[in-house]
Amino acid sequence: MACQARLDTVPYVGLPNVPYSQCEEWCKAGTALGITDLDVCSIAWNNPVPWRKIAGDFGEGAIMEQWAGYVLVLGFGVFFSIVTTIMVKLEQIYGGLVISSEHFNTAGRNIKTGLTAAVIVSQWTWAATLLQSSNVASQYGLSGPFWYAAGATVQILLFGILAIEIKKKAPNMHTFLEMIDVRWGKQAHMTFLFFGICTNLIVTGMLLQGGAAVVNAASGMHIVAANFLIPVGVILYT
C-alpha cells in the first residue's frame, strides 16, 4: 500500500501538521476502505482547502472565470434557441406543421412515449431536486439521495394512473383546471386557478434562484444578472 511505504521510510517524511501517528491512522482507514493505490498521507485531510468564503466574492475559489459564467448562460441559451428555431422551421417546411395556440399548448397531441417520459423527468427535476439530493448525500451518505428520490415515486405512480384516466375521459383537455371547472364549477375553478398560478410563480422563482446560485458559486457571476439572463434563452424561442 502506498501510504505504508511512507510509514516504513526512515526517517518518516510527512506533510506539515501530519505526524506519524496521524498518518498511521489514515493508512489503516484507507486499508479498511480498500484504498491501495492512493497515498492517503499525501493529502492534508485535517486541513481542507477553502473554496469560497463568501458567496458573491467574485473570483475567490470559483472553478471558472467570471466571463465564462456569462458565456455559459448566454451561449447555451442562444445555441438552443437557434437549434429549436431551425427544427421548427424545417418541420413547418417539410412536415406541414402549422403553429397555433393549440399546438403550442399541447404539442399537437402527438407526443410519443419516449418524449413523454423525458418531459416528465425534466419537469420533475427541479433545482431543489439536484441541490437538495446532493445536500442529503453529504449529510447521510448514499441513503440520503435514495430516500429523497423514493419520496417522489409515490406521486409519480399516482399521476401516471390519473393521466391515463384523464386521457380516456377528456382527450381534448388542456389543463387540469378545465376538468375542475366541469366537475366542480366556477368557484372551485377559480380557487385552483389561484393555487396553480402561485405554484408556477414559486417553482419558476426556485428554478431561477437555484440556477443563479450555482452559476454564481461556480464563476462569480453576479446572482442578480444570472437571474435575469438565464430565462433569455427560453424567451427567444417562445
Stretch 204-230: mean pLDDT? 87
Supply the pLDDT for residue 156.
78
Non-local CB neighbours of 81 within 8 Å, separated by 6+ positions: 233, 234, 236, 237
Who has greater pLDDT, 177 or 49?
177
pLDDT level of residue 31 (50, 70, 90 thresholds): confident
Assess whether pLDDT exceeds 80 at residue 1.
no
Give the Cα separation of 238 and 235 in Å (integer): 5
Averaged pLDDT score across all residues of the chain: 80
Contacts of 3 by beta carbon, 8 Å cutoff, 6+ apart: 23, 26, 27, 30, 39, 40, 41, 42
pLDDT reading at 54 higher than 70: no
Per-residue pLDDT at 36 exceeds 80:
no
Kindly state the cell numbers that stand for 134: 446532493
pLDDT in tens, 63-121: 777 888 898 888 888 888 888 888 888 877 887 777 776 666 666 666 777 777 777 77
| Residues 6+ away with beta carbon under 8 Å from 194 | none
Q: For 1-10, what is the mean pLDDT?
A: 73
* pLDDT tens digits, 160-202: 788 788 878 888 887 888 888 888 999 999 999 999 999 989 9
